[in-house]
């Protein structure tokens, strides 16, 4: 692939997502080192199943570090969930600000602010636990605006024929961030202390911000180092689907957005995908411990395999989707439908299968979970990029609303799980997995029925100042309608 400014932007955004997710998930690893162990006899319930991997431990393994904070389990839950207290409130705001003031400024402000606050985490922890909670919520508030702003950037930087792969490269960084945090945090905690986790990730985020500020522009027309040929190609490709942009911010058509069935299709698919993701992230470790007697920490490098598979699937799906569309194998909308059916229904099948694994089937459950996460990566060629298909100028706003709705799953999924799983037995966990599977299937079906692959009329460019209507080139779907 020929090097280009737009693909360079995708790789810079890739690392932006990497640091954003590292700052989001670092606390889940750091808190293990920060908190003093609870020696009460009833604090942990021992599984009846003893995993072979838990018995095969290195005799020379270093003892766990003794933490210095005496936070209860409930308080630890508050700390870990505090990120989402702020995250849920800035999604729509982020898309709106990016549409009106440019995605570059919003992304720079959110990641720079998050990086600085990450550096302050140790100070907040030593000051008071609720100062730490407030700081984590503020980081969440800032980061809630990041991804809608990235979508806004791609609405002007991404040619429709390449948008799947460009967004796939961008958001795949989030999964690599998850993969890196696990071993990095463990190494830093053992060798430099838990505070170094925040220092290293915070400094990395600030360095990324310097690169972003120097190399990136809001649009191809304002970029100083892009070639004329590439600028014209990007601008003409985007204008062909949604008309010429006047250069002035457009009023957000709230009524059209809220009454658009294709937009609601994206929101339903978004919620379903995130419900499963939150269930996997928050409840999977407990399932493995309760039913299989398996600790993620005992798996070593195996624990990262599902995330590596997820990363691979995101990029594969993006590349395949653009190839399928360019060769007219499937229309845009049918490509998105296929991606969502594979991602959501495929994931549902393998998650449910994993819930039937028995004691001693450690490798089988890892294989099934890895396949489930691999398939779920195809949603990035589905609803994620479909926001840009149907409403490019307002993609940040509509994605922000979708993120806000789906963030509710971050609260509801663990609550529902807690109400069902009382004894930690397999039958209870199977109910949790069947509920997740049902939500995934419903989300895939609703998306498939109501999705569209064309820019909606209300999202196309308005008449120019001269009073003449810009007539954008019709997509093949519109021409064949």
What DSSP letter does each residue of 22-51 carry, written as one string? Answer: HHHHHHHHHHHHHBPP---TTSSPPPSS--
Tokens for 297?
């920490």
For the structural domain made of 1-38+69-242, what CATH number should be given?
1.20.1250.20
Q: CA-CA distance, 369 to 73, in Å (whole number)?
A: 27
Would you state the pLDDT for residue 278? Answer: 82
Q: CA-CA distance, 166 to 7, in Å (whole number)?
A: 7
The domain ranges of the chain are 1-38+69-242, 255-475
- 276's CB contacts (< 8 A; 6+ apart) are 344, 347, 348, 351, 376, 436, 439, 440
Q: CA angle, 317 as apex, 316 and 318 as ends, to 5°?
A: 95
**Cα torsion angle, 226, 227, 230, 232, sign:** positive
Q: Locate tokens 């389990």: which residue?
A: 73
Which of 92, 103, 117 minimizes the C-alpha distance to 19? 117
Would you state the pLDDT for residue 50? Answer: 57
Is 451:262 a contact under the CB 8 Å cutoff? yes
Tokens for 103?
């995605």
Rg (CA), the chain: 23
CATH classification of 255-475, choosing from 1.20.1250.20, 3.40.50.1100, 3.30.479.10, 3.20.20.30? 1.20.1250.20
- Core vs surface per residue 4-40: b (16+ CB within 10 A) or e: bbbeebbebbbbbbbbbbbbbbbbbbbbbbbbeeeee
pTM of the prediction?
0.77
Would you state the pLDDT for residue 63? Answer: 45
Would you state the pLDDT for residue 196? Answer: 93
Count how many Cα atoms sit within 13 Å of the Cα of residue 71 in the half-sphere of its side chain: 23
Q: What single-letter DSSP state applies at residue 259?
A: T
Tens digit of pLDDT at every position of the chain (481 positions)? 445 899 999 999 999 999 998 998 888 778 878 888 765 544 445 555 655 554 454 545 444 455 789 888 778 878 877 888 888 889 888 888 888 888 999 999 999 999 999 999 999 999 999 999 999 999 999 999 999 999 889 988 989 888 888 998 998 898 888 778 877 887 888 888 899 999 999 999 999 999 999 999 998 988 988 999 999 999 888 887 665 555 566 788 999 999 999 999 999 999 999 999 888 876 776 787 778 776 655 555 566 788 888 889 998 999 999 999 999 999 999 999 999 999 999 999 999 999 999 888 888 988 999 999 999 999 999 999 999 999 988 988 999 899 889 888 877 887 788 788 888 888 999 999 999 999 999 999 999 999 999 999 998 865 444 333 333 334 444 444 3
- 75's CB contacts (< 8 A; 6+ apart) are 129
Would you state the pLDDT for residue 359? Answer: 81
Tokens for 37?
């162990």
Q: CA-CA distance, 119 to 117, in Å (whole number)?
A: 5
Is 397:92 a contact under the CB 8 Å cutoff? yes
Would you state the pLDDT for residue 44? Answer: 47
**Residue 35 φ then ψ, to 5°:** -95, 135
- 124's CB contacts (< 8 A; 6+ apart) are 131, 132, 134, 135
Which of 104, 132, 128, 103 minimizes the C-alpha distance to 118? 132
Stated length of the chain = 481
**Residue 69 φ then ψ, to 5°:** -110, 140
- 284's CB contacts (< 8 A; 6+ apart) are 369
**Residue 282 φ then ψ, to 5°:** -95, -30
Is 158:166 a contact under the CB 8 Å cutoff? yes
Would you state the pLDDT for residue 298? Answer: 57
Is 458:256 a contact under the CB 8 Å cutoff? yes
């Amino acid at each position: 692939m020929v090097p280009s400014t737009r693909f360079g932007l995708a790789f810079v955004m890739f690392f932006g997502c990497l640091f954003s997710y590292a700052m989001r998930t670092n606390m889940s690893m750091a808190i293990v080192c920060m908190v003093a162990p609870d020696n009460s006899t009833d604090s942990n319930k021992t599984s009846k199943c003893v995993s072979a991997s838990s018995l095969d431990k290195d005799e020379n393994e270093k003892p766990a570090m003794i933490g210095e904070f005496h936070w209860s389990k409930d308080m630890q839950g508050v700390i870990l969930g505090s990120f989402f207290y702020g995250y849920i409130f800035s999604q729509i705001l982020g898309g709106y600000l990016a549409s009106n003031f440019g995605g570059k400024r919003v992304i720079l402000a959110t990641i720079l602010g998050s990086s600085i606050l990450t550096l302050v985490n140790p100070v907040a922890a030593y000051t008071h636990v609720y100062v730490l909670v407030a700081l984590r919520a503020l980081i969440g508030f800032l980061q809630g605006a990041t991804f809608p702003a990235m979508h806004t950037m791609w609405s002007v930087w991404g040619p429709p024929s390449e948008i799947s792969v460009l967004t796939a490269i961008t958001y795949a960084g989030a999964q690599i961030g998850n993969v890196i945090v696990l071993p990095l945090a463990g190494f830093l905690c053992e060798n430099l202390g838990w505070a170094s986790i925040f220092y290293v990730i915070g400094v990395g985020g600030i360095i990324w911000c310097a690169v972003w500020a120097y190399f990136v522009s809001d649009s191809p027309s304002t970029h100083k180092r892009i070639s004329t040929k590439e600028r014209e190609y990007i601008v003409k490709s985007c204008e062909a689907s949604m008309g010429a942009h006047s250069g002035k911010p457009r009023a957000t058509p709230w009524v059209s957005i809220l009454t658009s069935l294709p937009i609601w299709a994206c929101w339903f698919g978004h919620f379903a995908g995130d419900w499963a993701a939150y269930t996997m992230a928050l409840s999977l470790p407990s399932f493995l411990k309760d039913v299989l007697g398996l600790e993620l920490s005992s798996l070593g490098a195996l624990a990262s395999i599902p995330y590596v598979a997820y990363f691979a699937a995101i990029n594969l799906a993006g590349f395949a989707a653009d190839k399928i569309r360019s060769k007219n194998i499937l229309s845009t909308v049918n490509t998105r439908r296929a991606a969502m059916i594979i991602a959501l229904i495929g994931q549902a099948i393998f998650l449910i299968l994993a819930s039937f694994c028995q004691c001693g089937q450690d490798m089988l459950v890892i294989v099934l979970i890895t396949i489930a996460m691999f398939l779920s990566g195809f949603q990035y060629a589905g609803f994620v990029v479909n926001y840009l298909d149907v409403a490019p100028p307002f993609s940040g706003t509509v994605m922000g609303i979708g993120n806000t709705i789906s963030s509710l799953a971050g609260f509801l999924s663990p609550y529902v799980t807690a109400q069902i799983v009382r004894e930690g037995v397999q039958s209870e966990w199977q109910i949790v997995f069947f509920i997740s599977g049902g939500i995934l299937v419903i989300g895939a079906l609703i998306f498939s029925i109501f999705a569209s692959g064309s820019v909606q009329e209300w999202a196309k460019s308005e008449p120019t100042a001269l009073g003449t209507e810009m007539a954008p080139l019709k997509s093949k779907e519109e021409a064949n309608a």
